[in-house]
Every structure is written in structure tokens, then in C-alpha cells.
Structure 1
């Protein structure tokens, strides 16, 4: 077992697929102790039912609603970042005073993360188009490079849920297709550094989180 896995409770390790990028777990557990405890407790309490999977709808389904019900009362709020860029040109040898100064309005605009508290951000992608991961990773990168967060947690579907989809039938399996948000579409994007080096704990939701799944 990797040493960072020892920092995560066994109840979480047994119910999720976990990936640690840029020492996110170490940063969370040592620098953001309270936030880390809240995230671990939320993952421990999070449960789905088979009906949550088979219902119609995408990212507005019961799955993100159940996560919100656990995080929102603790002060984890959707947050958008916006900012202007002030550009100064310094000429000559002294370069003490700008010869020209101007502002690029809305240089940073439109980047949102579902749950932010302090310097930690959490996002969930349950069943959106896989291109949504590009938006999410760029948002984490922007928040990180602007000094708003120091690490993030990104939650999505584990490949192991395919067994459940097969059991629930063709229509369900079709809904959760290969071009939607699941771990196989996320990890290559992170390996390509689309998150810009922002420390990320990636969490894969597995069949062990489904309360009425008996392993059929």
C-alpha cells in the first residue's frame, strides 16, 4: 500500500477507487485538517440506491443532490472566480514607473466549482459529457494558480460501476456510455496535466456505495 493511502480511513479505501496527484492527500490531511475530516466523513456517509442510477436525468439526478445534502450544511458553497488583469509596461533602465498601464477586463471569467470551503475545492461529475472534465480541470487550475485553493477533490464514476449498469439493463447501460464522465475519461486528462499541477485527490464511486446492491 502506498504511504498516502494510510492517511485515508479504511472505510473510504474499501468503498472508493482513489488516486493521489501532486500530494493532494498529504496536503489535505496535514494542512487542511478540518476540511479533510469533513470530506472523509461525507464520503463515508454517502450512499446511493439502484433507483438513483436507473432514474432519468444527468448531473441533476439524485446522486449530486445527495452529495450536496451532506456538504452544503457544512458551508461548502458553489464558487465562481472572476478577475481583471492589470498590465504595466516599464521602460528604460530604472523601470520604476510604468510608461503605460491598461486593464484587460474579465481576464478570468466563468470558472465555477461546485463546493469550495477555505482553500479546498470539491467537484462531482456523475453523468455529463466527458468534455466537462476539461472545464472542471481548467477551473481547478485557475483557482489554484490564482492562490484561491491549494488542492482539490474530484469525484466521478469508477469503471467498476459498469457491472451494475449491465445488471440494470440496456437503457441504463446506454445512458452511462463511454463518452460520459467516468474515470477512464478523467485520468488521461490529468496525466496530460490539464489541471496545471493543482494537487488533486480523485475519487471513483464504486458499487460498494450502493446500499441495495447485492452483487447480482
Structure 2
């Protein structure tokens, strides 16, 4: 399952019988996700202009899911009724939900949030699955190869487009005073603006405390989200276009 994605470098992990559920009960969900992700590409310029936040790439991915395949944002409301009286009401907002004839899939895209968002997502999936609301939960995030290649990507982009001072950098984004100081300090260490800026940019925007594969893996190994069936997908460096 997801062999085309794996050949392209995507990390794919299915936990708690998720693969069996997809293969036998919700194959359309797997087909749709694979098709959408195989078409995914990230121009390096968009990565830089986005300043590290949700880029046009993730916006296009969300649009493809929502508008192309009807994976819509949804608020699940769980109410506790005791003797006819509502005693508790909890809502769980999920960015992409799709109901199939044999089950419901809840999906989150964590491109570059703070890593505690993984705890929120996994705990939401666990509760919704326990209440019989969803059949499987999924998370798409930066894979190891992408996360580890970001400095190299940024430096290559800087060299290619002669980003060798703050003036040329301003064509893409304007760093804050704090970020300028960080870039200057890294440039002294690296010996060139391109490498110094790339190192500072990635450290500031895509640090270890953001959402990426290793942080997600740490949580599922601790059992966060268990026993909800989970599909985890890591985006590889191969999707970057310089």
C-alpha cells in the first residue's frame, strides 16, 4: 500500500490496524491521498517567501483535499447526557474529514506548527475513535529527508539568486531586527552571507521544536493516540523544486 509514495521518498507508517482498514474497508481514501500527494511540489522560492509558515504549497494541498476530493473541515461535537440533561459538551475541530461508505477518515496537515500540536491531534483522534466517530486518523508532516535538507535547500537558493546581503534578501522577505542579528552572527561563523542566512533562517523557522517526522514518531512510540488506527505520512525532500 502507498508503494508509489514510498518510491518517491515519502515516509508512510500505518499503526493499530490502519493498513487493514484502508485496504479492506476504505481503499478509496488511500487512492485519493496517494494521488494528491504524488502531485505535490514545493518551489523553493515559495518556501522562502512564506517565511517558514504555511506556504502556498500547503494551501494548494489543502485546496486539493477540500475542493478536489471533498475532505472538508469539520467540528465534531460530543455531548454527555445524564437523565436527559446535558452535563458536558466537547468539540474537536479537524481540518480535513471525509465520510466513506464504510468509515470516516480524519486528517491533519502539520507543516510547521509548534510540536505540541501533534499531541492535540493524536489525542483528538483517540477520543473521536473511542466515541465511534472516526475509523482512522491521519497526519501529514515534514519527513526526515525534507527536514534535514532545508539548510542545503536555502543555501543553494541563495547562491542561485545571489542573495548575498539584506538588500537582495528583501526581495523575498524582510527579517526582523532579531532575525537580522541572528543572520549577521551566523554569517561571521559561516564566512558567507548565503550560508549564514540559510543557517539562521532554518534554525529560526524550522527548528527542532516544530512539527516534523521525528517529533511525531516520538509521540506515537510513547503511545500517544493509541489505540486509534493511524496513518502517518512524511513529505520528502524530493518534492522541493529549486
Give me the TM-score of the superposition, normalised by structure 1: 0.81
Match of 1:129 in 2: 114
Q: 2:52 & 2:122 partners in 1: Cα distance? A: 20
Flag as ranges the 4+ runs of structure 1 deviating above 6 A. none
- Structure 2 unaligned regions, length at least 5: 155-197
Whether the 8 Å CA contact 2:105–2:137 is kept in 1: the answer is yes
* SS of residue paired to 1:52: helix
Match of 2:186 in 1: none
Match of 1:179 in 2: 209
Whether the 8 Å CA contact 2:108–2:140 is kept in 1: the answer is yes
Q: 2:15 & 2:7 partners in 1: Cα distance? A: 16
Match of 2:160 in 1: none
Match of 1:146 in 2: 131
Q: 1:51 & 1:26 partners in 2: Cα distance? A: 39
Q: 1:182 & 1:71 partners in 2: Cα distance? A: 21
Matched residues, number: 192
Match of 1:93 in 2: none
Q: Which of 57, 64, 88 is equivalent to 1:63?
A: 57
**Mapping for residues 154-173 of structure 1, pairs under 5 Å:** 154-167=139-152, 168=154, 169-173=198-202
Match of 2:74 in 1: 79
Whether the 8 Å CA contact 2:94–2:106 is kept in 1: the answer is yes
Q: 2:33 & 2:149 partners in 1: Cα distance? A: 25
Match of 1:206 in 2: 236
RMSD (Å) for aligned C-alpha atoms: 1.8
Whether the 8 Å CA contact 1:63–1:126 is kept in 2: the answer is no
Residue 113 in structure 1 maps to residue 113 in structure 2 = no
Give a deviation string over 1:136-162, Cα, whole Å, max 9, x none: 111111221121211122111112123
Structure that is richer in helix per residue: 2
Q: How many Å apart are 1:197 and its aligned residue? A: 1.1
Residue 22 in structure 1 maps to residue 16 in structure 2 = yes
Whether the 8 Å CA contact 1:58–1:126 is kept in 2: the answer is no
Q: Which of 29, 47, 51 is equivalent to 2:41?
A: 47
